[in-house]
Amino acid sequence: MSSSEIFSIITFVYGFAAILYVFSWIFKKTLPGKLATAATIVGALGNLAGIILRWVESYQMGIGHAPLSNLYESLIFFAMAIALIHLFIGYRYKIQFIGVVASPIPFLVMAYASLPKIDNAIQPLIPALQSNWLIAHVMTCFIGYSAFAIAFGVSVMFLLKSSGNRQGSDILSRIPDFDTLDDLTHQMVMFGFLFLTVGIITGAVWANQAWGRYWGWDPKETWSLITWLIYATLLHARLMRGWQGKKIAILSCLGFFAVIFTYFGVNLLPGLHSYQ
Amino acid sequence: MTKSSNPDGFTQKVWSFFASVKLSVVILLSLAMTSVIGTIIPQNESLMLYHQKFGDTWFRIFNMLDIFDMYHSWWFRSLLCMLTINIIVCSINRLSSTWKIIFPKKPNFKINQFRKAKNRLEWPATVSPEELKNTYVSWLSKRFGKFTVESSENGYCLFGEKGRWTRLGVYGVHLSIILLVAGSLVGSIFGFDGYVNIPEGESTDSVFLRDNESQKKLDFAIKCDDFNFTLYESGMPKEYRSSLSIIKDNQPIVKKDILVNHPLRFEGINIFQSSYGKMPATKLTVTFTEKDSGLVYKKEATMNSPIEMPGNSGTFTVEDFRANFSFRGVNLSNTFLCSMIPKEGEPKHIIIPADFPRFDMMRQGDFIISISDANFKYYTGLQVTKDPGVPLVYAGFLIMIIGCYVTFFMFHQKICVEISTAGGKTTVTAAGISGKNRPGMNAAIRRLSNHLKRLT
Ligand code: HEM
């Protein structure tokens, strides 16, 4: 089996898990929830196996390198990181609801990665990417992005719940209480902030290694800083100004838009980050 | 400095202005928003280009606001400066109270705080309060640095505390920002950022500075012994390699091949592989063919110095060279940009592609000009930098990561285990308070109570 076959299988596994999570949540059933968790575990392990296999395949082609070097490979890693983080959070804080908001993301990411416009060929590394810092940089950034993606999902739920509360709709009332959502957002933002910080720092060290400058204000760098500043604002507003709930949820959404822009939008801007 | 020790009203006002976290929220958001501008408007291009793009009015406004180099503008720097002052003032202001929490005169536990805690868990016990107390004390005191036992109305209270020092984590994060600012300042004052192109076999001891295009002399010369690049089968670049020697007092003292990601560092100066290209030798042969008579005149020329044209008809200068030049949508390789000043009439700019000797016929001039014997050579493009601020910046990076980890994932926790007897029944409750980490504290209490239940 080739790594791309594995990736198309796990796309369906992730989709299946997402459906089960939503099903178990809407119909208040525990068994589908457990199955969903099991499916996510299978998906994440398959995802990991696929990444390792792709790594091996690149060596067989004589251009061996960690599969973290272009858009396609970063999406695959992104999906795995989100799946692993939400499994961990669900287990650690005993909140199955996290699966409902988080599990569709790996599915959507994998589905997006399999679109024909995204080049999935294993390519050799251009000289600028031939560095071990590449691995540290991409991994930490994407773990950070994953945590922010989950925070975003939780924040959207918060906003949905708070807007629809008056009608007392049955589904919305099954979303966990505001405090839990708020804490979850905060936890995920802290987790993401640490990793984004490490991601930006490893990027800076790498840039200093390759180009002789640790910071050059190129659009990708600048947008990662903008993202970081938005989340730093969130942490301060919450901790010191006592912001909670809706305002924090809105800031967390804003932060995630900055993440998306750092990831995709920057390529629309003029600039130098030759990556992908 | 605290508020009471500062009698001056104005200083006091400035101080409390900078001590506010509201201000930091405003500054952080302003930095985020203004940074967007520089990613939409490309920075540091030629002013002419901006003028063309934005028109006169907008060009003037943008230029006045330094939008074309906004990350080095006075207003962006003031924002960074305000942020730094903000952090310093805020930290000083709060450090004294944090210090009191971290190093209190005596441990201070208030049972009522714990009784109100939401994470409080309760379970019944089957053994006697004394026995419970002894088992718990021996187990708990191993895990908590500060530990006290008190008697309460109907039993015992065991108080434990740990992780006080973790409250210093945020000060680490904030200190790291100050280190970054300091490091970048040191770099911009005592460092430089330059580049130089060196043809194979040649050497240089000066570089061009990026910010003002002036030359900077080095204490040594850099010689490019060899430059090579290799491609993958697909045509993508695989490797750029320059073999360099550092020459001091006419002696080569260091020899190293540099690649992208593998620079050469020498006496605090870093040399990076950054680009490459092809350039002609300094001596060229320029051929003038008179159109009417077909007579051929060959002259030797060097770049940028004028030569006389045949028949005293004017001067001709080879000014520049482009390895690729787009002419009406066609890429002419190896093209020389030249200028011709005839005896009478306007000076003219003309292009002479070395690979197409008859190209100049199109111009319909008196002479057909071509250039040969260019002896093209590869040159390596090097980035040459010195940044004594890097150690400060790296120290900042390290402290920031550690500080964030400590702040987010470790916390100061105080716990209280209460053993009380009422109506012949013994119950145990466990509760905890932490500065901020509610879910973390809840989970810690859950784990603690599970352990305690298993002990008896
Ligand atoms: C880019 C700049 C900054 C970063 C990255 C940063 C980062 C942080 C972080 C991570 C926390 C901990 C939040 C938490 O526990 O959830 C924090 C707390 C705090 N920050 Fe900042 N900060 C920055 C700028 C500032 C500034 C300018 C001030 C000035 C007033 C400030 C004041 C505070 C205060 C007072 C706290 C709470 C400390 C405590 O718990 O005692 N920060 N900051």
Domain layout of chain A by residue ranges: 1-108, 126-276
Q: Select the residue from A122, A235, A243, A259 to test the B interface by mutation, using most B Cβ atoms within 10 A.
A: A235
Q: Is the pLDDT of residue A124 over 90?
A: no
Q: What does the block give as tokens for B100?
A: 């009191």
Using CA atoms, how far apart are residues B128 and B132, in angstroms rounded to an integer?
6
Minimal-distance CA residue to ligand 1 atom 9: B170
- The amino acid at residue B399 is I
Q: Is A148 on the interface with B (CB under 8 A)?
A: no
What residues contact A147, with CB distance under 8 A and at least 6 apart?
A85, A188, A189, A191, A192, A195
Residues of B in contact with A197 (CB under 8 A): 400-401, 404
Q: Select the residue from A190, A225, A256 to test the B interface by mutation, using most B Cβ atoms within 10 A.
A: A190
Which residues sit opposite B367 in a β-bridge?
A: B290
Q: What does the block give as tokens for A33?
A: 């929830």
DSSP-derived pairing of the beta strands B314-327 and B307-308 = antiparallel
Nearest to A226 among B36, B384, B385 (CB): B36
Helix then strand then coil, in percent of chain A rounded to 5, is: 75, 0, 25
Residues of B in contact with A122 (CB under 8 A): none
Q: Tokens 């999406």 — which residue?
A: A75
Phi, psi for residue B245 in degrees, rounded to 5: -125, 140
Q: Contact, A175 vs A157, CB < 8 A?
A: yes
- What's the CA dihedral at B355, B356, B357, B363 to 10 degrees? -140
Query: Which of B209, B184, B179 is closest to B196 using CA atoms?
Result: B209
Burial of B196 (0-12, 13-18, 19+ CB in 10 A): buried
Contact B94 CB / ligand 1 (< 6 Å): yes
Distance from CA of B132 to the nearest CA of A (A): 29
Asked if B193 lies within 8 A of A212 by C-beta distance, the reply is yes
- The mean pLDDT of A132-143, rounded to a whole number, is 92
Q: Select the residue from A69, A129, A208, A243 to test the B interface by mutation, using most B Cβ atoms within 10 A.
A: A208
Distance from CA of B231 to the nearest CA of A (A): 9
Asked if A183 lies within 8 A of B39 by C-beta distance, the reply is no
Nearest CA in chain A to B385: A212
pLDDT digits (tens, 9 = 90+) for B267-302: 889 999 988 888 777 788 899 998 888 888 988 888
Q: Contact, A73 vs A82, CB < 8 A?
A: no
Chain A (92-121) residues lying within 8 Å, Cβ to Cβ, of chain B: 92-93
Asked if B25 lies within 8 A of A236 by C-beta distance, the reply is yes
Question: How many residues comprise chain A?
Answer: 276
Using CA of residue A15, residue A264, residue A81, residue B444, what is the dihedral sign?
negative
Residues of A in contact with B439 (CB under 8 A): 93, 183-184, 187
What is the best residue among B170, B176, B409 to mutate for testing ligand 1's pocket, by most ligand atoms within 8 Å of CB? B170
What is the best residue among B27, B35, B83, B90 to mutate for testing ligand 1's pocket, by most ligand atoms within 8 Å of CB? B90
SS3 A27: coil
Distance from CA of A229 to the nearest CA of B (A): 6
Contact B21 CB / ligand 1 (< 6 Å): yes
Complex-level ipTM: 0.91
What is the best residue among A188, A239, A243 to mutate for testing ligand 1's pocket, by most ligand atoms within 8 Å of CB? A239
Distance from CA of B332 to the nearest CA of A (A): 26
Residues of B in contact with A198 (CB under 8 A): 401
Query: Which of A272, A230, A249, A105 is closest to A163 using CA atoms?
Result: A249
Using CA atoms, how far apart are residues B256 and B261, in angstroms rounded to an integer?
14
pLDDT value, residue A273: 43
Q: Is the pLDDT of residue A253 over 50?
A: yes
Of all atoms in ligand 1, which is nearest to the CA of residue B83? 27
Q: What does the block give as tokens for A218?
A: 């190129």
**Confidence band of A197 (pLDDT split at 50, 70, 90):** very high
Using CA atoms, how far apart are residues B197 and B321, in angstroms rounded to an integer?
14
Count of alpha carbons within 13 Å of B400, Cβ hemisphere only?
A: 24
- The mean pLDDT of A152-174, rounded to a whole number, is 78
Q: Is the pLDDT of residue A242 over 70?
A: no
Using CA atoms, how far apart are residues B109 and B231, in angstroms rounded to an integer?
70
Nearest to A212 among B39, B272, B436 (CB): B272
Residues of B in contact with A178 (CB under 8 A): none
Residues of B in contact with A131 (CB under 8 A): 261
Of all atoms in ligand 1, which is nearest to the CA of residue A197? 5
Residues of B in contact with A241 (CB under 8 A): 21-22, 25
pLDDT value, residue A118: 82
Asked if A130 lies within 8 A of B400 by C-beta distance, the reply is no
Give the residue, B119 or A165, on which the prediction is more confident: B119
Of all atoms in ligand 1, which is nearest to the CA of residue A238? 16
Helix then strand then coil, in percent of chain B rounded to 5, is: 40, 40, 20
Minimal-distance CA residue to ligand 1 atom 12: B170
DSSP strands (E only) in chain A: none
Using CA atoms, how far apart are residues A99 and A40, in angstroms rounded to an integer?
9
Chain B (390-429) residues lying within 8 Å, Cβ to Cβ, of chain A: 390, 393-394, 397, 400-401, 404-405, 408-409
Q: Is B275 on the interface with A (CB under 8 A)?
A: no
Asked if A127 lies within 8 A of B40 by C-beta distance, the reply is no
Contact B174 CB / ligand 1 (< 6 Å): yes
Asked if B404 lies within 8 A of A241 by C-beta distance, the reply is no
pLDDT value, residue A26: 85
Q: Select the residue from A58, A94, A130, A272 to test the B interface by mutation, using most B Cβ atoms within 10 A.
A: A130
**What averages of pLDDT result for each successive group of 10 residues across chain B (456 residues)?**
59 85 90 90 82 88 88 92 93 85 74 84 85 87 83 85 87 95 92 89 87 84 88 84 89 88 89 85 86 87 87 86 82 86 86 87 86 83 92 97 93 88 85 78 86 82
pLDDT value, residue B292: 85
Contact B120 CB / ligand 1 (< 6 Å): no
Using CA atoms, how far apart are residues A224 and A201, in angstroms rounded to an integer?
11
pLDDT value, residue B362: 85
What is the best residue among B18, B31, B87, B100 to mutate for testing ligand 1's pocket, by most ligand atoms within 8 Å of CB? B87
- The mean pLDDT of A190-194, rounded to a whole number, is 95
- The mean pLDDT of A138-159, rounded to a whole number, is 93
CB pairs under 8 A between A and B: 119
Contact A198 CB / ligand 1 (< 6 Å): no
pLDDT digits (tens, 9 = 90+) for A53-94: 999 988 888 888 888 888 899 999 999 999 999 999 888 877
Q: Is the pLDDT of residue A275 over 80?
A: no
pLDDT digits (tens, 9 = 90+) for A12-62: 999 999 999 988 888 878 888 889 999 999 999 999 999 999 999 888 888
